[in-house]
Structure 1
Amino acid sequence: MRLYILLVHAVLVAQSIAALFPPGNETTHSAAVQACQQLDHTLGPSLVQSSGAEYEAAATNAWNLLNAEFAPTCIVFPQISQHVQTAMKAIYDTGSHYAVQAGSHSAMKGWNTVQDGVLIMFSQMKNASYDPVTDSITLEPGIHWQEAVTAVEPFGVAPVGGRVGDVGTGLLLGGGLSWLSPSQGYAADTFKELDVVLVTGEMVTATVTNEYSDLFRALKGGGNRFGIVTRYKVSAVHTGTNDDKSFFGGTITYNSSSAEALLKATARYVHETNDPKAVSLVTFTNAMADGQIFPVYMALLFYNGPELPTAIFGDFLSIPAVSSQLGPLSYLEVAGTLGLENDRGYVQHFGASALVGDEALFLDAFNHWSNFSATFVDSFNQTTLAFTPIPDSQIHAGRDRGGNIISAPRGQFAAVQLLQQLRIGLQDLPRVLQNGIDLLFEQIPPSPGLPLYLNECDAGQKVFQSYSDFELLKMIYAKYDPTGFNVAHTQGPIGL
């Protein structure tokens, strides 16, 4: 196959995941032991654990098997922001490596756990509340999106959050794509206030207008390098209760013979649709078993209204369907369409791209992904190519709220996700497989000027460099972490 030939002759320049995240050594272990001993003394053994059932459950909690096999020196289970401050000060004073885990749904190795370091685990900070006076929702960092949407549904509101129930609040720091994004912007665009524990342990509250407005902007898509957010105050969206079927839509499944028609419909939707009431997600999945590929292609289509307008969704509706589950829905039901997606025990891997252009570009991406899937059919449980349209309405909604650090230059493009789930038995990415993934990224590059989506990227992709405000992002980081402590002592989004 063409991909196999290219693999043999390609110049292999990307580092492997293992090289990007090297194991700890005697120095890092010693620093972590010091931090854990100090925290055990100040916070107590109920909040700081190095063994036992709760420790084991937390250490192996990560959705990605790569991260479930790390063994932190100790795990801190904060219950209030002050506990996080105490933990961060001890980590900073001892120079220990550390990581933070909220939703645990990262596909990148080392992004929500640590070896020879301190793990701050937010499993005991999971509250969500609605304030009708300020029309705001307050979230603690340990809550997952299904829990958050369910908690405030009786008030007829919802946060702009993730599309998968098992994903946590870390989604916000990467920007965040939501079923509500076409009308509200990236999920991070809805921030009102953030309580942030800085690298030294100091806590500040950042807003769009106060002295920490630069930090506030950086956290709207800049990831977790700048501090640990212990409270999110976000705008509430009035979506109705579960009794209010104000949305219409659902899932349409297609036969593999409809791939070209579905790709053309997707490209036209991306180029033409700018209705803030409309939202879609198109996924192409190849399930693998016994050396065979079983395609499952779907369009998830929703409209905040009584029906799917044919002027917007007609191309999708005209393609012969294997099954169609469409009807009136509450937002709670919309938010639950993809379920939890919390199947653990697999090595997961993400990659990102972004496309704008004609149908040929989408067809080309599909062909490269199909070739990649066939080449490595024996290595995967499944592979997915997904398209999330980013309309102009989404970009302008974010700008109306003060903008974000992503600073996408325009809408009417598609965020592209490349997801691989390795077959059971593979405990890490073999080098040849990582090389194949790297080549796939080269074959499906982002269109010029478009930002990559941090939450769905590969560790080696230069996400921050794709932001229009990259230089500003570096300046803000230098202000809030002048010693570069986070770069040296965390494992997470790289490139600053």
Structure 2
Amino acid sequence: MRVLPALFTTIAALPISSCEDFDTLAALANYGVNASNFFTGGSRASIAGNPAENDLAARDESSGCKYACGTLSLLYHGNTAYPKSPAYHLEEAGYWSAVQAEVEPYCFFEPEDSVAVAVTILLSRLTQCPFAVKSGGHAAFANASNIAGGITINMARMNKVKLSEDESVAKVGPGNTWYDVYTALEDRNLTVIGGRVADIGVGGLTLGGGVSFFSGLYGWACDNVKNYQVVTAQGTILDVNHDSHFDDLYYALRGGGNNFGVVTRFDLYTYPQGMMWGGSRVYSINETDTILNALVDYAYDAPSDPNAALIVAFTYAEQLGGYVIAADLEHAKPKDNPPIFDAFQNTSYISDTTKIVSLPDLTLEFNSSNPGGLRETYWTATYKVNLDLLQYMVAEYQTQTNKILDVAGLGPSFVLQIIRADELRHMTRNGGNALGLSEEEGPLLLLNIAFWWNSSADDERVLQTCQTILDNTVAYAAERELAKEYRYMNYASQYQKVVPSYGAANHARLREIATKYDPSGVFQRLQPGYFKLDGAPRTGSP
């Protein structure tokens, strides 16, 4: 049974400040859901009712989740999956990282609209059943977008892509992958600013920042959202943009992650884009100095060609005889070997896939270098661009990785990218984002340590190795005043503090905004996964 979408206007009319003494049952009743029997031992809600949020000490978490999932099953028949069912196994298989797929929620729920998301959040508040939200499921660590014993909200059915009448904005559901979005816009010769790997979801990447092939031209994904449709902790459905009464929430959603609400639609600016040029060149590890010099030159020359994008990755490939270097070279114009990449063209390489290519096909090529079904870990740090530092970092990566080359299925990558000065300039658009970076700081070096392996028996060794590499490179940089505080959310590990790295002023402002829109801390307590306002997802070290 469905609840009328028009009912959300009743909730949306409630002032945010009224939510300190929030009546969850009344909010559910406004959506036509009677959950009053929860306090008398009912197994699920019916349709329409009242009272108020109560002391739930008499019910344990599992019984609360039983009630919440049972109610969702009643309201949205066929959208809820329970353990041991074929649908549940399909849900588990939808995670990129095996570490996430191992987490077992009480149920998976696939909403089809914002009202269903609002009802789920309100049921979570009522029953104190924790929840997680999954867009593409491409986070590396456990509980990032899945939750043990709770409700995992899979946004897969909210996958529409609709152009505005003048085609200046694409209204994109969070259940889309970037391949879905780019393919939908391709026949109009349009694109939006989003991810570079086909299977990554729209939601997580955009809320965490979102580096793009086109960041030199337009900035990051979070800087190219015109409007967010958001479900708040009160079940309110808001349109949030720079010109709305919720401009502070608009700021917070630009890099602040899942701390403020569940985004149910991203309205993204569109840009003209046809065929482009790109691919990967693989070099011998003996070319390290040449490639690092080319990377440093690119860092300072990049603003001369905003169409260019570059990723340099060091990795160990047994089939190629050891360590190699991969340079991913991209250009928004369909022109072979643009001059900004002359140094990479003039250096001898082992293989080359660069060609004139469509954006969707290029993301599929990136997908092949990000295989799913393995154990994954990401770590990140940010530095000033410096050749001596880069040489130390690559040497330290190899020194530490050599100690664990016996790990079965190990794929150890050390990925270097430049946050260009022109990218940073775009971050001031529409009032600025929450990341705490400025053009004056640029260019910056962004590190992504990305390892995969086969067995949980090797988790500790791999994680400790990644932490050692990170700690040693940051310490080396700090001694030379080359370390930066910023941590990119989409590359961070569960042991890293992300939101506090945005700077004290931004961190304080984000906390104030969260308190304003979520005074009960629903998105801190009941959605505990991923990067919260304070601290890391896991304390200590591996």
The question of a shared fold, defined as TM-score above 0.5 by the shorter chain, is answered with yes
Query: Which deviations, in whole Å up to 9, do the C-alpha atoms of 1:428-471 show, x marking residues without a partner?
Result: 722x4433322222112274445221001011112212213222
Alpha-carbon offset, residue 333 of structure 1: 3.9
Deviates more, 1:147-156 or 1:56-65: 56-65
Normalising by the residue count of structure 2, what TM-score does the alignment of the two structures yield? 0.81
Name the residue aligned to 1:16: none
| 3-state SS, counterpart of residue 494 of structure 1 | coil
Provide the rounded CA distance (Å) in 2 between the counterparts of 1:157 and 1:44.
35
Provide the rounded CA distance (Å) in 2 between the counterparts of 1:135 and 1:225.
29
Structure 2 residue 406 is matched with structure 1 residue 378 = yes
- Please point out which of 459, 462, 481 is paired with 2:497: 462
Name the residue aligned to 1:412: 443
- Asked if 1 retains the 8 angstrom alpha-carbon contact of 2:259 and 2:533, the reply is no
Alpha-carbon offset, residue 482 of structure 1: 1.5
- Please point out which of 445, 457, 473 is paired with 1:444: 473
Which runs of structure 2 are paired with 1:30-429 in the superposition (5 Å)?
30-41=63-74, 43-51=75-83, 52-133=85-166, 135-169=168-202, 170-240=204-274, 245=275, 247-274=276-303, 275-287=305-317, 294-305=322-333, 306-310=335-339, 312-339=340-367, 343-379=371-407, 381-410=410-439, 411-422=442-453, 424-426=454-456, 429=459
CA gap 1:80/1:427 in 2 versus in 1, 3 angstroms: farther
Structure 2 residue 521 is matched with structure 1 residue 493 = no
Could you say which structure has the greater relative contact order, defined with CA pairs below 8 angstroms and 6 or more residues apart?
A: 1
Structure 2 counterpart of 1:456, one-letter code: Y
Instruction: Indicate the percent of aligned positions where both proteins have the same amino acid.
Output: 24
- Asked if 2 retains the 8 angstrom alpha-carbon contact of 1:179 and 1:335, the reply is no
Structure 2 counterpart of 1:391, one-letter code: R
Provide the rounded CA distance (Å) in 1 between the counterparts of 2:436 and 2:188.
32
- Asked if 2 retains the 8 angstrom alpha-carbon contact of 1:165 and 1:341, the reply is no
Provide the rounded CA distance (Å) in 2 between the counterparts of 1:320 and 1:161.
32
Provide the rounded CA distance (Å) in 1 between the counterparts of 2:63 and 2:368.
38
Normalising by the residue count of structure 1, what TM-score does the alignment of the two structures yield? 0.88
Structure 2 residue 510 is matched with structure 1 residue 473 = yes
CA gap 1:472/1:308 in 2 versus in 1, 3 angstroms: farther
Alpha-carbon offset, residue 318 of structure 1: 2.1
| 3-state SS, counterpart of residue 266 of structure 1 | helix
Deviates more, 1:224-233 or 1:324-333: 324-333
Structure 2 counterpart of 1:72, one-letter code: P
Provide the rounded CA distance (Å) in 2 between the counterparts of 1:282 and 1:125.
35
Structure 2 unmatched ranges of 5 or more: 1-58, 535-542
Structure 2 counterpart of 1:224, one-letter code: N
- Alignment: residue pair count: 460
CA gap 1:96/1:340 in 2 versus in 1, 3 angstroms: farther
Provide the rounded CA distance (Å) in 2 between the counterparts of 1:483 and 1:202.
14
Name the residue aligned to 1:483: 520
Alpha-carbon offset, residue 351 of structure 1: 0.4
Query: Which deviations, in whole Å up to 9, do the C-alpha atoms of 1:285-318 show, x marking residues without a partner?
Result: 11358xx9732311111223434343x2222222
- Asked if 2 retains the 8 angstrom alpha-carbon contact of 1:267 and 1:362, the reply is no
Name the residue aligned to 1:12: none
Q: Which has the higher helix share?
A: 2
- Asked if 2 retains the 8 angstrom alpha-carbon contact of 1:287 and 1:294, the reply is yes
- Asked if 2 retains the 8 angstrom alpha-carbon contact of 1:288 and 1:382, the reply is no
- Please point out which of 463, 466, 479 is paired with 1:434: 463
Decide which structure has the larger Cα Rg and report it. 2
Provide the rounded CA distance (Å) in 2 between the counterparts of 1:228 and 1:102.
11
Deviates more, 1:149-158 or 1:371-380: 371-380
Provide the rounded CA distance (Å) in 2 between the counterparts of 1:187 and 1:226.
18
CA gap 1:450/1:79 in 2 versus in 1, 3 angstroms: same
- Asked if 2 retains the 8 angstrom alpha-carbon contact of 1:197 and 1:203, the reply is yes
Deviates more, 1:111-120 or 1:195-204: 195-204
Provide the rounded CA distance (Å) in 2 between the counterparts of 1:387 and 1:340.
19
Structure 1 counterpart of 2:314, one-letter code: F
Alpha-carbon offset, residue 347 of structure 1: 0.7
| 3-state SS, counterpart of residue 205 of structure 1 | strand
Provide the rounded CA distance (Å) in 2 between the counterparts of 1:334 and 1:308.
16
- Asked if 2 retains the 8 angstrom alpha-carbon contact of 1:141 and 1:168, the reply is yes
